[in-house]
Structure 1
C-alpha cells in the first residue's frame, strides 16, 4: 500500500502529516492526489469522513507559487461557515512549514477583519458562496491570479440555493484554472455543473471502507417506530440506554430544536441548541461547550450542523426521518469517522416507515428496526451503569481505605452483604439513575401504506396566466390548508423564477426543509408560496436577504381578497 511519500508530496507536507499522526493515505487521497498534482480537473464522489479535505488540500498546497502574492492562488467554496473554519484550519496545519496564508470568509463574522486580511494578501481563501460574492462585488476579492478552485460538498451548496452564486463566482476566475469538485452524492445537477466548468475531469468514486466479513459495521444504524406524542419520552429512553459520550440530535425546525432542548435539560441531560436563528458568537460558544465536554447533547437543524466535526461524537439521532436520503447520509456521516465507531438512531413515526425503506434502498445499508426499550430494559441498563462505576472504583483502589471504619462499625450489627446492598442502592440513586420513569411506551404496529386513487406524494405546483387566473378546473386560488400561510414574492415567470428557486432560497438559510414548503403558484409577475404559519417571520426575513435571479424581491404575506 502506497504511503504519502510514494504520492510525490514535498518534504514540508510530509513533515506536517507526520507531526499530525497521519500514517497512510485513505482511498480518496490515494486516488485524488496524483491527478491533482498533474494539474487535471477532478470530479470526486466521497462520503463524509473519508479524508477528502486532505485529498484536495495537499496537492493544492504543493502546486501553489511561493507565498507573498497580493491575490489568492486558490479558492475553496464550502456550504457553511462551520465547514469554512474546519477546512481553513486543516489547510493551515498542512501548509504551516510552507508559510501559506489561509483566510476563511463567511457571513456572521465582522467583515472589517476579512477586508484587512484580504488587503494584506492571502494565498488560499476558504469561503461560503454568499460572502465570496459579496467581496467580489466590493472589489476586495480578486480572482484573476487563481490557479485552483475547489467546490467542496457541492451537492449541499446546490441544495442550499447557491447555484447562481457559484456560477457568478466561476465567471470571475481564469479559464485555465484547475477545477476540483467533491460531492457526497451525484444527482443530475452536479453532473451538469461538472460538464459546464470542468475540462476532461478524472472521475473518482469512493464509498466508505467496506466492512470485512464477520465484523460489525463502524456505524450501527437503528430505528425506533413511535407515535409523535411519545417521541420525547422515546428519545429520553433510548439515550438513557445508549448513554452516549456526545451526540447530535437533528430536528427539522428551530422551534422543535428549542422545545426539545428544554425537554432534554429537564430530564437531566446537558443539552445545547444550535440553529440558524443564533448569532455566530453564540454558535461558537455552543460548539466550545460540546467539544470541551461541558455539554453532551447538541440539538440542531440540518443547516446549522453541516460541516461540524466533533472528534468524540459517538451518536447521531434523527428526531425525524430526513426528507431526502442525501440528508440522511450527511447526518450519519458525523460519526464513524477516521475508523471510530458510532451509532445512528432514527425515530420514525408510523407514516415515515416507508421513507426508511427508501433510504435503505438508495444507501444500500440496512437500518435495523428495534423496539423502544421498556421500563425493565431501562432499569437493567441503569443497574449496569452503577455496577460499571463501582467496578471502576474498585479497580482504581484509590481512597477506599478511609471508609473501612464505616464498614467495620456496621458489620457489628449487619451482614456484609446487606451493607454492600445498601451502599449500591445509595450509589445508584445518587447517580441520578432512579426508577422514576415508569410509563411504558406503546409498541407501534407497522401496516402497509395504502395509496388512494389520485393521492400521490409531492408538492402542488401551479403556473398561472399573466392576469393571475389559474389553469386549474376552478380557475381560482385554493385556500391554504390549516396551519399554512401563503406568502407573496414579487418575482415570477418573467424573471425566470422556477419552483426549485423558491424552495432553495427558503431552505438555504431558514430552518425549513423542502418537505415543509407547501403549494407554489407562479404567475407572470409574482409567485405565491405556502409555508407553516409559525415560520412566516423567519421565511420573510430569509427571502428579503436573498437574491432571486439577481434581484431582491418584495416579500410579504398575501393580502386577503374580498
Structure 2
C-alpha cells in the first residue's frame, strides 16, 4: 500500500477516520496528537482488519503507535481477565522495551490495559509476579522472552498479535534463532506484524516464513523539490584519532546546533568523550547501558529542559529516544554497518525541519564512507575541518547577530547615559568596538589556537597498493585490541557455536550491545570474544549463569601463553 498520489491535500485524514474506539481517540487528543503520520495512516486500517503486515519506515516516523493502537483496539475495556497476554511485542533493547511499554500504557490508559516490559538486567522476581497476576501486552527482548517461555511463566496460547519491532536491529544483535524459537511457540492463527527501518534479505526471509499474505508498506523519506536543501544534510570530516575531540568541538562551534547526539562505540569512549567535552566548556551528558533507569531519566530531563545540549551515547542506550529539539547527529566513528547509519540519521530532519548528520572518520575509515554512500544511495560530502580563522569568524558572526537582535528587540535607552559620557572623551566607533569586544568575550568565545592537521585523501588507485590488514590466522596469539579484554568460552565449532550465538548471549544478559563486542574467533572446542575491559567481569558472571547452544560452558578471561 502506498499513499494515493491524487489524494486531495486539503482532505486530511484524522485518527477518527481510521475507525479507532473513543477511549483511544480521547487519549490521543489529550496527548496532543492531531493527525496520523504516514506510517500510521497506512498501517492502522489493514491491522484493524486482521491482516499481517510488513512495514518499512525510518526511525521516528511513529511506528509504535502504528501497531500499539490496533493492539488496544481489540482489548476489552477494563483490561483482560486472563493471565496470558493477548499481544507480544519483541524489541532489540531494554531501553526500547521500556519506551514501547510506556507508550502502550499512555494510549490505553482509559482501557485499563495491563502492560509489562521484560528484559535482561531487571530483577526477574517482579516479572514473575506480574506475569502470574496477569498481563494483556508483553513488551520483551527476545532472550528474556525465551527464558520465560522455557520457565512456563510466559504463556502464548492466548496471543492474538505478535509484533517484531526494529527487526533488522534484532537480527544484527544475533537474535535470529531466539525469534524463530519464539514464533514456533505462538498460535498458528495469530496476526503477525514486522516493522524495520531497512529490509535486508534476512528480513524478507522471516516475512516469507512467518507472515501470511502480508500487506507491504514502505514509507520513503520525503523527497525535496528541485533547488531545495535536503531534509538531512550529510557531511564527513577525515580527522586523525588524536584530534577528534578538538575537531568535534570545532564543528559544533561552527554549526551552533540546538541539541546534538554524538554516537560512540563503547561505554568507555562515551565517558571519556563526555568528560573531555565538559572540560572544553560544553554542556555534555553521557548515556549508556551502564547507567540505571533513574540516571537515564535525569539525563533526558536535562536535555529536554535545555540545561544540557550535547548527549554522548552508545547506540543501544539511545535506541528509541525521541528528542524534539534534536538538530544534529554526530557519528564519532564511522558506523560498522550502513543500516546503523540509516537508524542514526533518521533521528533528525523531521517535521519539515532540516537536520544535520556529521561523521568523524579516521583516515583508514574513508572507504567505509563510500560503502555507506553506495548502500544508502545518498551523498556524504567530505569537508575540511574548520580552521582557527574559520572559528573566529563564526564566533564574531554569532556576536554580531546577538547585538543585532538586541538593537531590534531590547530597550536600550537607559544605557544611553553611559555612551553619552564616554563620547565626551572617545570616538563613538571606539566605544562600539569596546562594547563588541566585551560582548564577544562574555559569550564564552575563548581563543582556540590548536590547528588540526589536514589529512590528504588517497585516491582509489593509490589505495590499491596498500597492504591489507592481518588475517584472522595472523592475529591469533596476539593480545586483544586496546581497551578490550578477551573472554574464553569453552564451546566452539564442534558444538555448533556461531558468532551470532555469542553476540546474542552477551547482548541479552548484559548491558552490552552487539556493537560493543569486538573480534570473535571460533576454534573447534572453544571461542574467544573481545569485550570492553570494564565490562569483562559482568560478561563472565552473566555467561556462567546462562547457556550457549543449550548447555553450560566454561567462561573465563583468556590466559595468554608465555612468549
TM-score greater than 0.5 by the shorter chain: yes
Q: CA deviation at 1:119?
A: 4.3
Counterpart for residue 124 of structure 1: 137
Q: Deviations over 1:210-251 (max 9, x none)?
A: 222222122111111111122111111001111111111111
The structure 1 residue matched to 2:442, chosen from 430, 443, 457, is 430
User: Judging changes above 3 Å, is the alpha-carbon distance between structure 1 residues 349 and 392 closer, same or farther for their aligned structure 2 residues?
Assistant: same
Counterpart for residue 333 of structure 2: 320
Partners of 1:552 and 1:110 in 2: how far apart? Answer: 21
Q: CA deviation at 1:546?
A: 5.2
Counterpart for residue 477 of structure 2: 479
Counterpart for residue 490 of structure 2: 490
Contact 1:314 1:341 survives alignment (8 Å): yes
Q: Deviations over 1:405-440 (max 9, x none)?
A: 333332332233322221221111112113x20122
**Which range is displaced more, 16-25 or 173-182?**
16-25
**Which range is displaced more, 512-521 or 64-73?**
512-521
Q: CA deviation at 1:352?
A: 1.1
User: Judging changes above 3 Å, is the alpha-carbon distance between structure 1 residues 480 and 452 closer, same or farther for their aligned structure 2 residues?
Assistant: farther
User: Judging changes above 3 Å, is the alpha-carbon distance between structure 1 residues 551 and 357 closer, same or farther for their aligned structure 2 residues?
Assistant: same
3-state DSSP of counterpart to 2:348? coil
Partners of 2:271 and 2:463 in 1: how far apart? Answer: 35
User: Judging changes above 3 Å, is the alpha-carbon distance between structure 1 residues 459 and 70 closer, same or farther for their aligned structure 2 residues?
Assistant: farther
1:396 aligns with 2:394: no
The structure 1 residue matched to 2:420, chosen from 408, 412, 427, is 408
Q: CA deviation at 1:286?
A: 2.1
Q: CA deviation at 1:441?
A: 1.5
3-state DSSP of counterpart to 2:236? strand
Counterpart for residue 553 of structure 1: 553
Contact 1:40 1:201 survives alignment (8 Å): yes
Counterpart for residue 185 of structure 1: 198
Counterpart for residue 282 of structure 1: 295
Matches within 5 A, 1:110-259: 110-259=123-272
Counterpart for residue 366 of structure 1: 379
Q: CA deviation at 1:124?
A: 1.9
Partners of 2:540 and 2:466 in 1: how far apart? Answer: 33
Contact 1:301 1:511 survives alignment (8 Å): no
Matches within 5 A, 1:259-408: 259-398=272-411, 400-408=412-420
Partners of 1:156 and 1:415 in 2: how far apart? Answer: 65
Partners of 1:111 and 1:519 in 2: how far apart? Answer: 30
Q: Deviations over 1:327-366 (max 9, x none)?
A: 1111112222343431111011122111111111111111
Q: CA deviation at 1:447?
A: 0.4
Q: Deviations over 1:38-82 (max 9, x none)?
A: 111111122112221222122222233342323321121111222
Partners of 1:99 and 1:521 in 2: how far apart? Answer: 49
Q: TM-score, normalised by structure 1?
A: 0.88
User: Judging changes above 3 Å, is the alpha-carbon distance between structure 1 residues 142 and 478 closer, same or farther for their aligned structure 2 residues?
Assistant: closer
Q: Deviations over 1:531-558 (max 9, x none)?
A: 6777754654564465422344221233
Contact 2:105 2:113 survives alignment (8 Å): yes
User: Judging changes above 3 Å, is the alpha-carbon distance between structure 1 residues 122 and 422 closer, same or farther for their aligned structure 2 residues?
Assistant: same
Contact 2:40 2:66 survives alignment (8 Å): yes
User: Judging changes above 3 Å, is the alpha-carbon distance between structure 1 residues 309 and 555 closer, same or farther for their aligned structure 2 residues?
Assistant: same
Q: CA deviation at 1:152?
A: 0.3
Q: CA deviation at 1:92?
A: 2.7
Counterpart for residue 527 of structure 1: 527
3-state DSSP of counterpart to 1:256? helix
Contact 2:540 2:555 survives alignment (8 Å): yes
**Which range is displaced more, 184-193 or 376-385?**
184-193
User: Judging changes above 3 Å, is the alpha-carbon distance between structure 1 residues 70 and 456 closer, same or farther for their aligned structure 2 residues?
Assistant: farther
Q: CA deviation at 1:117?
A: 4.1
Q: CA deviation at 1:378?
A: 0.7
**Which range is displaced more, 196-205 or 449-458?**
449-458
**Which range is displaced more, 265-274 or 157-166?**
157-166
Contact 2:316 2:513 survives alignment (8 Å): no
Q: Any unmatched runs of 5+ in structure 2? A: 1-6
Q: Any unmatched runs of 5+ in structure 1? A: 463-471
Counterpart for residue 517 of structure 1: 518
Counterpart for residue 499 of structure 1: 499
User: Judging changes above 3 Å, is the alpha-carbon distance between structure 1 residues 287 and 166 closer, same or farther for their aligned structure 2 residues?
Assistant: same
**Which range is displaced more, 179-188 or 83-92?**
83-92
Contact 2:480 2:486 survives alignment (8 Å): no
Counterpart for residue 39 of structure 1: 50
Q: TM-score, normalised by structure 2?
A: 0.88
3-state DSSP of counterpart to 1:337? coil
Contact 1:375 1:439 survives alignment (8 Å): yes
Contact 2:237 2:360 survives alignment (8 Å): yes
Q: Deviations over 1:13-52 (max 9, x none)?
A: 3343344443443332232222211111111122112221
Contact 2:167 2:196 survives alignment (8 Å): yes
3-state DSSP of counterpart to 2:312? strand
Q: Deviations over 1:170-227 (max 9, x none)?
A: 3332221111111112223222322332222222222222222222122111111111
Partners of 1:156 and 1:482 in 2: how far apart? Answer: 26
Alignment: residue pair count = 545
Partners of 2:58 and 2:527 in 1: how far apart? Answer: 37
The structure 2 residue matched to 1:106, chosen from 111, 119, 123, is 119
3-state DSSP of counterpart to 1:339? coil
Q: Deviations over 1:504-546 (max 9, x none)?
A: 44566565756963351321x3223456777754654564465
Counterpart for residue 59 of structure 1: 70
Counterpart for residue 442 of structure 1: 453
Partners of 1:12 and 1:451 in 2: how far apart? Answer: 62
CA RMSD of aligned residues (A): 2.9
**Which range is displaced more, 231-240 or 544-553?**
544-553
**Which range is displaced more, 401-410 or 228-237?**
401-410
Partners of 1:313 and 1:324 in 2: how far apart? Answer: 23
